[in-house]
Chains A and B, each alone.
Chain A
Amino acid sequence: MQLTDEEVRHIALLARLGISDAEVEKFRNQLSSILENMDILQQVDTSGLEPTSQSVALENIYREDETGPSLPVTEVLSNAPAQEDNSLKVNAVLE
């Protein structure tokens, strides 16, 4: 599986990962080589098999919706890069 520069840029865009021209070339080669190693999976007959998404036999965990103490807003915002009026401050979403 040989990726193209365009594919690498497209994946980076999907992941919202800024990427330099030098990184495009490096990741194109490295990801292609990693994906080549993944091709071995295509040899496996998985017909009729269910996928496994996790390994414990638990499902649908419910609990009572009880109120309890939560962190104060000041602590929640203590790591925020920018804040105003007890809220996170972000760049304009609609321009």
Chain B
Amino acid sequence: MNDLHRLTIHEAHALLKDKKVSSVELTRSVLKNLEAVDSKVRACMRLTADTALESAAAADKAIARGKASVLTGVPMIIKDNMCTKGVTTTCGSKMLENFIPPYDAHVVEKLKAANAVIVAKANMDEFAMGSSTENSAFFTTHNPWKLDCVPGGSSGGSAASVAADETIYALGSDTGGSIRQPAGFCGVVGLKPTYGRVSRFGLVAFASSLDQIGPITKDVTDCAIVLNAIAGHDKRDSTTVPLGVPDYTRALTKDIRGLRVGVPREYLVEGMQPGVRKAIEAAIIQFEKLGAKVDRKVSLPNTRYGLAAYYILAPSEASANLARYDGVKYGYSYRDTTSMWEAMEKTRQFGFGAEVKRRIMLGTYALSAGYYDAYYLKAQKVRTLIRQDFDKAFDSCDVLVTPTSPTVAFKIGEKADDPVQMYLSDVCTLPINIAGVPGVSIPAGFADGLPVGLQFIGKHFGEETLLRAAHAYEQATPWHTMKPAIA
């Protein structure tokens, strides 16, 4: 069978279960396509082809014994900031270029237990700080729809690999939009679950109160399938909530009659591309056709402070988290001195790239004596207001709908030297992390030949309603079936 790499998880599982296709055949097809297109897309940091074929053979045995779960034998890619035992985990940084974790992240354990087939680790912005993968210390990933454009970031490698059918699905991480914005730019589905839904154990820490791992998939059904597998309490991450995990696929009923869909007016921002606005307007009409009750008067009045609050909170947490890179325990180490302080300073000077240094300095400043109250404490209080905005909006709405990003993918190099412009790319996604609520981006059309992302926002632990709304829209539109012609 040709084109197995184009399958979704649920399509692949149906063929595997009925023994129409083996995992080894499926994995070979994925690897063949990966090798054909990745020289252009450059989504992968490291291939794990040999172990992938071993896992595929093991999966085939499990299937033969009747022990297949829906992810058994299905190839996938992991963002390179999640620890994989024995496989380099660089986090996109020279600092961790040679770091080989001695253990698996919680999500990786879960996938391995399901006999998933890991084919590669994905490229990313260094320490997940960026919106384009241009901050990767190694190379930039290209958007499969237009190779001279960015794939978004920081999970740009994960999103591009799914869009280019280099994998059946991928995992990303999202601190301010790093799953949803690249999913939007690449025309695939990307979910940031509720903070506390998925364990962060083994995820290289960026901003611990905002980071969350989530799926990047070809459709919403797959998104629900992967969330089923990775969600749940983990005693090694005390911020995971001890709530049961429902079967999210059961929520995908296509019935959203009477669902209260809010379109917060602050998200139809100035500087939004006309093509993005058009796609959002068309989506709103689609919701009405599906019987949802659309409310265009919903307001999240503190949205305009989200960007500033985020760029104090996230760098502050990052400056503390990244203090561990001292050249002593693991990672890059400057050895050409006998001075402890000089070794530490030069390790960090040469090991970190420009954006990481900028954020460490920004965070250090915001936390320093004399500025803590004016910056960090102030931003934490604004965080309270932003959270209250969402609480209030969800009194009258079941789900909110916004653009994922104000623009489609931009050209490589276009914003690389202007941090403030780059930060604006996440203006629609980062309030969701600040509030801790879940958000999913799904394809909603095209502008200038590039995908437009539609973001759905749900209540805390409201992933079922969130995915039901996203799925109903997806099934009523053709966007998720469209594939880039990579040239």
A-side residues, CB < 8 A to B, are 8, 11-12, 14-20, 23, 26-27, 30-31, 33-35, 37-38, 40-42, 44, 46, 49-56, 58, 61, 63, 71, 75-76, 78-82, 88, 90-93
Q: How far is the CA of A16 from the CA of B304 in the complex (A)?
A: 33
CB distance from B102 to the nearest CB of A (A): 4
Q: Within the complex, what minimum Cβ distance (angstroms) separates A53 from chain B?
A: 6
**Are the C-beta atoms of B100 and A78 separated by less than 8 Å?**
yes
B248 within 8 A of A: no
The CA-CA distance from A50 to B382 in the complex, in Å, is: 9
Q: Tell which of B331, B348, B379, B381 touches A16, judged by Cβ atoms closer than 8 Å.
A: B348
**Interface set, chain B 67-97, CB cutoff 8 A to A:** none
**Which of chain B's residues 333-386 have a Cβ closer than 8 Å to chain A?**
333, 335, 337-346, 348-350, 352, 354, 357-358, 360-362, 364-365, 368, 374-375, 377-385
Please tell me which one of the listed residues A26, A30, A46, A56 contacts residue B195 in the complex, with CB atoms under 8 A apart: A56
Q: Identify the closest chain A residue to B424 (Cβ).
A: A37
- Tell me whether A56 and B436 are in contact (CB under 8 A): yes
Inter-subunit contact B384/A14 (CB<8 Å): no
Partner of B311, one of A14, A38, A42: A38
Cβ distance A27 to chain B, nearest Cβ, rounded Å: 6
Q: Which residues of A contact B304 (CB under 8 A)?
A: 40
- Whether B139 is near chain A, meaning CB under 8 Å from some CB there, is no
**Contact assessment for B385 and A18 in the assembled complex, using a CB-CB cutoff below 8 Å:** no
Q: In the complex the two chains form, is A18's CB within 8 Å of B435's CB?
A: no
Q: Which residues of A contact B184 (CB under 8 A)?
A: none
11 examples of A-B residue contacts, CB within 8 angstroms:
A15-B319, A18-B349, A23-B357, A27-B357, A31-B358, A34-B419, A34-B420, A41-B309, A78-B102, A79-B331, A81-B333
The minimal Cβ–Cβ distance linking B174 to chain A, given in whole angstroms, is 14
Given contacts A16-B345, A41-B308, contact A34 B382 (CB under 8 A): no
Add 10 more A-B contacts to A41-B312, A54-B195 (CB < 8 A).
A15-B323, A17-B348, A17-B352, A18-B345, A20-B349, A34-B358, A52-B387, A80-B330, A81-B328, A82-B333
CB distance from A50 to the nearest CB of B (A): 6
